[in-house]
Chain A
Amino acid sequence: MADATTHQEFDPLATGGMRRRLVSKAIVYGALGLFALVYLTPLLIISLNTLRPLEDIVRTGFIALPEAETMTLRYWGEAWGSFCIGGTCEGVSRFYKNSLMMTIPATVLSTLFGLLNGYVLSKWRFRYDGLVFGLITLGVFMPQQMTLLPWAFVLGKLGLSNTIGGLVFVHTVQGISFTTLFCRNYFVSIPDDLIKAARIDGAGFWRIFRRIILPLSPPIVIVTVIWQFTGIWNEFLFGTVFTSGANQPITSAIVAFSGSGTGERHYNVEAAAVIMAAIPPLLIYVVGGKYFVRGLTQGAVK
Chain B
Amino acid sequence: MSSLTIRDLRKSYGNVEVLTDINLEAESGEFVALVGPSGCGKSTLLSIIAGLESVTSGEVRIEDRVVNNDAPKDRDIAMVFQSYALYPTMTVRENMTFGMECRNVPRAEQKETVEKVADLLQIGPLLNRKPSQLSGGQRQRVAMGRALVRDPKLFLFDEPLSNLDAKLRIEMRSEIKKLHQRVGKTTVYVTHDQVEAMTLASRIAVMYKGVLQQYDTPKEIYERPRNKFVAGFMGSPTMNFLDAKVVAHGDGLGLTVDGGDGAVMPVTSEKSAGLTQGQPVVFGVRPEHFNPVHAHRGDPIATLKVLVDMVEPTGSETILMSRVAGQNVVASVEPDDAPNEGETVELAINMGKICLFDPATELRL
Q: Which residues of A contact B (CB under 8 A)?
A: 191, 193-194, 196-203, 207, 211-212, 215-216, 301-302
Contacts and interface: CB of A to CB of B under 8 A. Distances in A.
B89 interface: yes
Interface in B43-77: 47, 50-52, 71-73, 77
B89 A216 contact: yes
B87 A199 contact: no
B77 A200 contact: yes
Interface of B: 47, 50-52, 71-73, 77-79, 81-83, 85, 87-90, 98-99, 102-103, 132, 146, 150
A201 B145 CA distance: 13
A197 B89 contact: no
B193 to A, nearest CB: 20
A188 B135 CA distance: 25
Contacts of B78: 200
Given A211-B98, A302-B132, A197 B103 contact: no
Given A193-B81, A198-B87, A200-B50, 19 more contacts: A191-B85, A196-B47, A196-B85, A197-B79, A198-B98, A199-B73, A200-B51, A200-B52, A200-B77, A200-B79, A200-B99, A201-B98, A201-B102, A202-B73, A203-B98, A203-B102, A211-B87, A212-B87, A212-B89
Contacts of A302: 132
A201 B71 CA distance: 11
A194 B85 contact: yes
A202 B103 contact: yes
A194 B131 CA distance: 13
Nearest to A194: B85
A207 B104 CA distance: 13
A203 B104 CA distance: 11
A193 B160 CA distance: 13
B98 A199 contact: no
A193 B72 CA distance: 13
Contacts of B50: 196, 200
Nearest to A190: B88
Contacts of A212: 87, 89
Nearest to A218: B89
A196 B77 CA distance: 12
29 contacts: A191-B83, A191-B85, A194-B87, A196-B47, A196-B50, A196-B81, A197-B79, A197-B81, A197-B87, A198-B98, A199-B72, A199-B73, A200-B50, A200-B73, A200-B78, A200-B79, A201-B73, A201-B98, A202-B73, A202-B99, A202-B102, A202-B103, A203-B98, A203-B102, A211-B87, A212-B87, A215-B90, A216-B88, A301-B88
A193 B85 contact: yes
Nearest to A201: B99
B79 A207 contact: no
A196 B52 contact: yes
Nearest to B75: A200
A299 B316 CA distance: 46
A37 B111 CA distance: 62
Given A197-B81, A200-B78, A215 B73 contact: no
A235 B81 CA distance: 47
Nearest to B47: A196
Nearest to B156: A200
Contacts of A215: 89-90
A168 to B, nearest CB: 31
Q: Which of B51, B71, B73, B82 has the most CB of A within 10 A?
A: B73
Contacts of B89: 212, 215-216
A175 B146 CA distance: 40
A302 to B, nearest CB: 7
B363 to A, nearest CB: 37
Contacts of B88: 194, 216, 301
Given A202-B73, A302-B132, A197 B102 contact: no
Nearest to A212: B87
A193 B143 CA distance: 12
A226 to B, nearest CB: 22
B31 to A, nearest CB: 20
Nearest to A300: B88
Contacts of A216: 88-89
A301 B90 CA distance: 13
A242 B335 CA distance: 89
